[in-house]
Amino acid sequence: MSHAPVMLDEVCKAINLQKSGRYVDCTFGAGGYSRALLRKQNIALLALDRDPAVKSFAQELQEEFGSKFSFAQTPFSELETAISQNGWDGVDGIVFDIGVSSMQIDQAERGFSFMRDGPLDMRMSDHGPTVADAVNFLSAEALSAIFRTFGEERGARRAAAAIVETRKQSPITSTGALSALMAKALGSGWQKIHPATRVFQALRIYINDELGELTRALSAAERVLRPAGRLVVVTFHSLEDRIVKNFLRERAEAPAQNSRHIPQSEEDAFTASFTLPSRKAIKPGADEIIHNPRARSAKMRIGVREDAPAFPSSPLTFPNIPDLANLEAML
């Protein structure tokens, strides 16, 4: 099965390739964006992905493009380190395609899909706690917070209570078992989406620290982009899009003043580190949605780096959600 990169033409245009420039594909996957960018212009490109399953795709591009292409198996939050280890001191463009890939969903053994029975894993890398660990060891309160925060699941408490009650009899270890349990706990007669959808999404986001990774990666991108360099981010969920939108707007638009009659001090003067070609997200065209249904929820945002210092980075915190290190300590 082919895995078509979403909004490929729009991404290639938005990143504004410059001859002999240096670019980073932070979510390599099957290599769709990387291949297209390398074929369009004489550039150097570094691809990142924490998923060891993509190495064969990276090898294909290595053979096709030689020294113009390099790959690092690493989380994209380690963008700054990866660039330094590649011998670069800055880049001209960075692209992100955020979220789980169709390739990962199609592999039942990875446990990403409630439609394919498999082990309850969902890790994007090959180490760390699994979703099975989360559902069998976390408290009902912690699970409820995860479902509510990362899945926006209205039945978060019911879902968590059902999990805790069921695991008293035997551990929950398969996607099929969890999916069936959520269908029972969250009600039958569903129309638009399966009852397990938001719970699976929440657990995947939690076990991979996806929102924390994204927040750290955006700050790293700001630090390594050269003036006029482009940051291009494609998201598929409102939680991710909100983080990207707020990140770019905070750096491109001066905050509102309490009073226009009070002069701003020199210390408080706002200097934009990005400009925005558009305040609104760019969406895929109707034809692409017809041919690639995965594109229907996609949004693309673009930032152009200014010659100004990077803003201080701010970690993303969720007080009611246990740190992954705490879960790992329970195992």
What six digits make up the tokens of 93?
A: 């463009």
Mean pLDDT of 50-69: 95
Q: Which residues pair with 147 in a beta bridge?
A: none
CA angle 273, 275, 280 (to 5 degrees): 130
pLDDT number for residue 256: 73
- Per residue in 238-283, pLDDT (tens digit) is 999 999 999 999 999 988 765 454 455 555 689 999 999 999 999 9
Task: Please write the tens of the pLDDT for every residue from 127-182.
Answer: 889 999 999 999 999 999 999 999 999 999 999 999 999 999 999 999 999 999 99
pLDDT in tens, 177-211: 999 999 999 976 555 788 888 999 999 999 999 99
pLDDT of residue 114: 54
How remote is the C-alpha of 249 from its chain's centroid? 19
pLDDT tens per residue, range 277-305: 999 999 999 999 999 888 999 999 999 99
Judged by DSSP in three states, 134 sits in helix
Domains of the chain: 8-102+210-305 (3.40.50.150), 126-207 (1.10.150.170)
pLDDT of the residue at 142? 97
The yes-or-no verdict on residue 124 having pLDDT over 70 is yes
- What integer pLDDT is reported at residue 261 of this predicted model? 46
pLDDT of residue 65: 97
pLDDT of 3 above 90: no
H or E stretch covering 315: none
Residue 315 is predicted with a pLDDT of 87
Residue matched to tokens 């760390």: 128
Q: Name the amino acid, one letter, at 63.
A: E
- Does the pLDDT value for residue 109 go beyond 80? no
At residue 262, the pLDDT reads 47
Question: What is the per-residue pLDDT for 89?
Answer: 95
For the whole model, what pTM was predicted? 0.91
